[in-house]
């Protein structure tokens, strides 16, 4: 029987591109877009996509009703974060929340650490241009 991969839909993910990527690399898997906690709980593997600003992603995840199921799944299932979804796995992010006195956005706390912006000031190539990391 094919394993189920649940891609969590909390309103901020790049769902179509993530779905297509998994369909390409795991054509025999049952890949579904998870809209409710039961779909996350019943899946063998879970994917947390993300697109946008960290504070908005965390807010949407908390309001989606999927947060507890996601945290429960993370205890004993493979969990992959994609884009901002990967960053959400850490303790906190340096992306500020609007109307907040804190410079940090609390995240899921599944991986100890902080997400910070790369410091690019002073990183010059031999020709004097700013060093760019290809992606």
pTM over 0.95: no
Phi/psi for 34 (5° steps) reads -85, 120
Is the pLDDT confidence value at 112 over 80?
yes
What is the chain's mean pLDDT, rounded? 90
Q: Which domains can be identified in the chain, with CATH numbers?
A: 4-115 (3.40.50.880)
| pLDDT given at position 121 | 62
Contact 6, 46 (CB under 8 A): yes
Contact 16, 50 (CB under 8 A): no
Q: Confidence class of residue 131 from pLDDT cuts 50, 70 and 90? A: low
Is the pLDDT confidence value at 125 over 90?
no
Beta-bridge partner residues of 87: none
Is the pLDDT confidence value at 91 over 80?
yes
Beta-bridge partner residues of 124: 130
Is the pLDDT confidence value at 115 over 90?
yes
The Cα 29–Cα 20 span in angstroms is 12
What sections of the chain are H helices per DSSP? 15-25, 37-42, 54-64, 67-76, 84-87
| Higher local confidence (pLDDT), 99 or 76 | 76
Q: Confidence class of residue 127 from pLDDT cuts 50, 70 and 90? A: confident
Q: Confidence class of residue 135 from pLDDT cuts 50, 70 and 90? A: low
């Amino acid at each position: 029987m094919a394993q189920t991969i649940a891609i969590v839909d909390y309103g901020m993910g790049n769902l179509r591109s993530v779905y297509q990527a998994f369909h390409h690399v795991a054509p025999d898997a049952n890949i579904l877009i998870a809209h409710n906690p039961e779909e996350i709980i019943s899946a063998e593997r879970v994917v947390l996509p993300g697109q946008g600003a960290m504070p908005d992603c965390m807010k949407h995840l908390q309001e989606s009703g999927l947060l507890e199921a996601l945290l429960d799944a993370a205890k004993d299932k493979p969990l992959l974060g994609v884009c901002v979804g990967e960053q959400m796995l850490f303790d906190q992010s340096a992306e500020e929340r609007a109307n907040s006195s804190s410079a940090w956005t609390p995240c899921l706390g599944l991986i100890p650490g902080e997400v910070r912006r790369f410091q690019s000031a002073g990183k010059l190539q031999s020709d004097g241009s700013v060093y760019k990391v290809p992606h």
